[in-house]
Chain A
Amino acid sequence: MSISIQSIHKTFGNYKALDDVSLEVPNGSLTALLGPSGSGKTTLLRIVAGLESADDGPGRILFHGENVVGIPAGKRQVGFVFQHYALFRHMTVAQNIAFGLTVLPWGKRPPRREIAARVDELLGLVKLDGLGRRRPHELSGGQRQRVALARALAIRPKVLLLDEPFGALDAQVRKDLRRWLRHFHDEIGLTTLFVTHDQEEALELADQVVVMRNSRIEQVGPPQRIYDHPRTPFVYEFLGNVNKLTLRDGGTRYVRPHEIEVKFAAEYDPDFDRLAEVQHLFSAGPVAALSVRTEPGEFIEVEISRKQLDELALSVGDQVALSFPPDPTDPEGDWTGDGAAPTAAANDHAVEWNI
């Protein structure tokens, strides 16, 4: 089931939490709402769920073409997973999962045996077989989050909404659960919208990444495209390590550490390259990180392969020449995120820079 968000506004008192936000979430996709705290991503998710209402106006939210604005959260059939699980503490795992079924009105409530069977099926689905009689506090964080997921899935939701689902977990569990969720999503194919402030998580997990900033959507697109062709400096900086260079004409440009080519100083081309001195070398890892200082005194982080580091035989104090790729910032970036490739013209235009 697709979700279509059309010019949604939300104000809390004097604060504008969402400013004319429109977004298409394709059917069956896994879409990430990515942004720093206060960017409006959680508010947007809660409005989609019906836990918050958008400001009055022409704004609409369509589930598969059907407007859900005005429909209460309980009737929208959304599966919502909270950052801190929000499990019912006084109930067992099985009772938690069954909750959405046991509160159905008399006529619609499945018989007890059917509910029990569904709970067992869901426990298996989230790999928690046999833990139905435990209490939430007896489970680990990762297990609790999967109970929350099973509970949300019990009502056979049309869409799945996850609010920072891994936010409260430690790094290793986070990574495992993330991969598991991707796999899980591919298996059940439920349209899923999740909120995160972790760019790595968004890029690794999502089919479509929505970068939000200051109550607006900054850019929408597949992870690769957003990473390679950020539409704005903000997206550039938010999506990973980046160097900010001052150009000779006073302008600035961004370049990622691994995009910079390092050459022997003898190969220096005064038209395009910059000379720099190696300040630090970190080679404990899959890639070597260099910290270099350019002529005008700028510090730049560069990542090269270990192999190349060996070939260059660099040590601290050596002079190197740095060569930069064309600026990929996509000035006419695709706003709607329908996946269209950037035009060649836009890229050609981007090459016109002056180091």
Chain B
Amino acid sequence: MSHREITTESRPVRVLLIGAACAVVTVFLLLPLIAVFVEALRKGWEVFFESLRDEAALSAVKLTLTAAAISVPMNTLFGVGAAWVLTKFRFRGRALLVSLIDLPFAVSPVIAGLVWVLLFGSHGWFGEWLDARDIRIIFALPGIVIATAFVTFPFVARELIPLMESQGTDQEEAAVTLGASGWRIFLRVTLPNIKWGLLYGILLCNARAMGEFGAVSVVSGHIRGETNTLPLHVEVLYNEYQFSAAFACATLLAMLALVTLGIKTAIEHLTGHTSAGKH
């Protein structure tokens, strides 16, 4: 070979390393994915579609979509706002705020769910007050939304903060001296510069919001057809030995993951091209 590779490892070592990497990917990532689809279709397409058409399954899908539809926009607004404040301004307590944003990542999801039960549950701090007014948060949609929002809280902000940090404030300052108002600066200067990062953050946020199990499991109460999200529904079916139905529903979540990955790759591909002339 006339082209010497930069790597100094000999050919057998390289083959071994690449082989090991492929094996790990297959066993840990690919195999479970295939298993989900194989198990789902074990009893044929009829059973597969039947379990998706089941009332409880449909209700779980609806609840999952509802929870995501509320918590993702909420966290998008919050994430953009937080990233804007944290990167365009310098103030006391800024570092603390940055660390606090990461809190939901650091806390176990179960604890994240339990906290809300302790606050809003019938024996919790605000439990009596809420009971008196007949407001249900825990074991109801509001609790599920709160728990989902809490767990997915950092995604958008985490994606945007380093991006906006690296872009600095020069363009915003230029817009200020040219007489643009804050809102206009955001729409015409900041947003176009962060749009891909933002989309990426929203995508990850959504994937996690629909897939969240731990925190939601604690606050949901597992009321079949009412407070079960899709991941919870899968668990219930599995515990009831309805393996094919459980896996059929799991394929929906697996598809969500695949679509997310696909869009993510597309975004990276797109920005890879547009960022060629970027500095």
Contacts and interface: CB of A to CB of B under 8 A. Distances in A.
B170 A103 contact: no
B177 interface: yes
Contacts of A78: 177
Contact of B193 (A51, A74, A90): A90
A200 B209 CA distance: 60
B178 A82 contact: no
A49 B277 contact: no
Given A82-B170, A90-B192, A103-B184, A135 B175 contact: no
A138 B171 CA distance: 18
A84 interface: yes
B180 interface: yes
Contact of B177 (A80, A88, A137): A80
A169 to B, nearest CB: 14
A79 B179 CA distance: 10
Contacts of B193: 89-90
B175 to A, nearest CB: 7
Contacts of B43: none
B35 interface: no
Interface in A75-127: 75-80, 82, 84, 86-90, 99-100, 103-104
A324 B177 CA distance: 51
B279 interface: yes
A155 B173 contact: no
A226 interface: no
A73 interface: yes
Given A82-B170, A86-B170, A88-B171, A99 B279 contact: no
A155 B175 CA distance: 12
Task: Name B's interface SS.
Answer: helix
B177 A51 contact: yes
Contacts of B174: 80, 82, 86-88, 148, 151
Nearest to B180: A103
A152 interface: yes
Nearest to A81: B174
B188 A103 contact: yes
Interface in B260-279: 277-279
Interface string A27-54: 0000000000000000000000111000
A137 B173 CA distance: 20
B176 interface: yes
Contact of A74 (B171, B179, B188): B179
Interface string B179-214: 111001000110011000000000000000000000
Which of B171, B174, B192 lies at the interface centre, i.e. has the most chain A CB atoms within 10 A of its CB? B174
Contacts of A76: 177
B178 A99 contact: yes
B184 to A, nearest CB: 5
Nearest to A74: B179
B70 to A, nearest CB: 31
A82 B169 CA distance: 11
Contact of A152 (B170, B171, B177): B177
Contacts of B173: 51, 73, 80, 82, 86
Given A51-B173, A86-B171, A86-B173, A75 B179 contact: yes
A273 to B, nearest CB: 55
A99 B278 contact: no
B98 to A, nearest CB: 19
Contacts of B171: 86-89
A73 B176 contact: yes
Nearest to A100: B178
Given A73-B173, A76-B177, 15 more contacts: A73-B177, A74-B181, A80-B173, A82-B173, A82-B174, A87-B171, A89-B193, A99-B180, A100-B179, A103-B175, A103-B180, A103-B184, A137-B278, A151-B178, A155-B179
Interface of B: 170-171, 173-181, 184, 188-189, 192-193, 277-279
23 contacts: A51-B177, A73-B176, A74-B177, A74-B179, A74-B181, A75-B179, A77-B179, A80-B177, A84-B170, A86-B174, A88-B189, A89-B278, A99-B175, A100-B178, A100-B179, A103-B188, A138-B277, A151-B178, A152-B177, A152-B178, A154-B178, A155-B178, A155-B179
The 8 closest A-B pairs by CB, nearest first: A137-B277, A100-B178, A86-B170, A80-B177, A103-B180, A86-B174, A74-B179, A90-B192
Interface of A: 49-51, 72-80, 82, 84, 86-90, 99-100, 103-104, 135, 137-138, 148, 151-152, 154-155
